[in-house]
Structures are given as structure tokens and as C-alpha cells.
Amino acid sequence: MPNLNGLKNRISVVANTKKITNAMELVSASKLRVIKKEYDNIQNYKNSLENTFSDIMDHMSKGELDTLFPVDKSNESELYIIITSDLGLCGSYNSNIINLARTRVKENDKLILIGNKGISQANKLIKNKDNILKSFAEVGNKFSYELASLIASESFDLYKQSIISKINIIYTKFINNVVQEAEIKTLFPLEIKTDHVSVHTEIEFEPSAEEVLKNAIPLYLSSLIYALGAASKLSEMASRRNAMENATDNAQEIEQTLILEYNSTRQGLITQEITEIVSGADAT
């Protein structure tokens, strides 16, 4: 028959674990609400920026775009900006990013890693450590615009120097508080969307759409990386809250099971003692 003291200790351990996970769930939920408000504002800005650039692209042909930003087709090396978290306890958030990256990253590609978890998993992504161009750890709960601008500037310089032929980002798309998906988005070179319908068909650009686009690319890349970084941070916090909620629920279930086992064992021991007393009395 199980030892009562052993069961009491297990119940105590599970109860303490439940308190910790519940506290972490509450903290994550609080941070989630704050980050969500900031994310909504950033998304509005991102959508406006993308619409503006779509209008600019409407005034350009693919040939003009290729002339403005020539692509070295002989260079197959691409850049991947990979966003992970600094901390764990966020479910499958990081593993989804790493697994997606492993399906796309080739040996000659270049990497910019953001977050401790991605940095620690770099050996799973690429063998040549020289291809890891930058690593940013301890980013915190907020993905800053300064960091986004730095990454955008260095990425675009690599493209202009023909070191890479494409700039990609692997991040986590926020769908809702329960669902988040790892996703790859190509940031550059720009693509002309044939299905885009411009609302402002009579826009005039001074001096020209080409010149405006050329000068605005750094802003575009910085803003896009900033917005996608914010989406990743929001997804991370939502994933952590969900993970802690599930952990709390599991701890509650285990605690109840152990309490039932403890009560059943205790009742069995009491019954056994009564039986032994009665048997002893009958024997006399």
C-alpha cells in the first residue's frame, strides 16, 4: 500500500508547481494585453505602408524594377532573418520556427538570428558558422524599431553588394490568442502584385515613382521587420500564456488524482487498523 507521507509530499510538490504556473499564466496574460494594443497600432501602420508601396509599384514595370534593383541571378545565397524567443516555457513556439527554417535554409545561405533559443539551435540550421552574420540575444518583450532599422540596413547592404540575392524573414504570425503559425516572408526584392487594385490611380510622384521607391526602401524594410517582430513577440506571449494555462490545468488534474489516492489509501489503512483491533478483541 502506498506510503501516506510519500503521497503528501507529491501532492505538495504538484500544488507548488500549480501555483508557479498559475502565476506565470497571469503575468503572461497581463503582458499579452499590453503587447496586443501596441501590435494593433503597428499593424495599422504596416498596412498603410504596404498600401502606399503597392501604389508606387503600380506605376512601375518589372523591367524598371529590375533596373532599379538588379538581381545577381548567379548568386543563389539568400538571407534569413530568424526570430525566436529569449526564454522557454512557450510551448512549440520555438520548435515550429526552427523546424520551418530547417526545411528552407541551404548551406550557402546567410543567417541573422534573433533570440537566445534560435542562437542555441544554430547548429541545426547551418554547418558553416561564418554564415551566421549577426546574433541578437536578450531582445526582451518588445521588438524595438532601432533593432529593426539596424537589421534592415545591414540586410539591404548585403543585397546591394550582391552577397545575397534575397532577404527573407522567418517569424510567427499571430492569428488569435490560441493560434499562431510559423511563416516565411520574402522582404526583398519587391514583387509586383498583379492582383492588387490601387485605390489612388491618379497619384503623381515627384520626382518619379522610381526615385521615391529607391529612397524609401530602407524605411519600408525597417517598418516591415518591426511589424513582423512585433507579431512574433505577441505570438510568443500568447503561446506562453497557453502553455502555462495547460500546465496549470494538468497540475490541477494530477493534484486531484493524488488527493483521491491519498484519501483512499488513508481510508484503507484505517479500515485495516479497525479490522486488526476487532480481530484482536475476538481472539481474547
Q: What is the CATH number of the domain that holds 156?
A: 3.40.1380.10
Q: Does residue 277 lie within any of the structural domains? A: no
Q: Does residue 31 lie within any of the structural domains? A: no
- Region of 89 (left: φ > 0; alpha: ψ -120 to 50; beta: rest) is left
Q: By residue range, what is the domain housing residue 204?
A: 39-242
Q: Does residue 267 lie within any of the structural domains? A: no
196 has pLDDT over 50: no
In three-state secondary structure terms, 165 is coil
Q: Does residue 84 lie within any of the structural domains? A: yes
89 has pLDDT over 50: yes
Average pLDDT for the chain: 88
Kindly state the average pLDDT of the residues 216-228. 93
Q: Does residue 23 lie within any of the structural domains? A: no
Which range is least confidently modeled, 121-125, 179-183, 192-196? Answer: 192-196
Model confidence pLDDT, tens digit, residues 30-87 = 999 999 999 999 999 888 888 888 877 777 777 777 777 777 777 889 999 999 999 9
233 has pLDDT over 70: yes
In contact, 167 and 155? CB cutoff 8 Å: yes
Kindly state the average pLDDT of the residues 253-262. 94
In contact, 248 and 18? CB cutoff 8 Å: yes
Give the number of domains in the chain: 1
* pLDDT cut 90: percent of the chain above it: 62
pLDDT top residue among 24 and 196: 24
pLDDT top residue among 269 and 113: 113
Cell representation of residue 151: 537589421
Q: Does residue 255 lie within any of the structural domains? A: no
**pTM (2 d.p.):** 0.85
Per-residue model confidence (pLDDT) at position 14: 95
Q: Does residue 62 lie within any of the structural domains? A: yes
In contact, 232 and 143? CB cutoff 8 Å: yes
243 has pLDDT over 90: yes
Per-residue model confidence (pLDDT) at position 68: 76
Q: Does residue 211 lie within any of the structural domains? A: yes
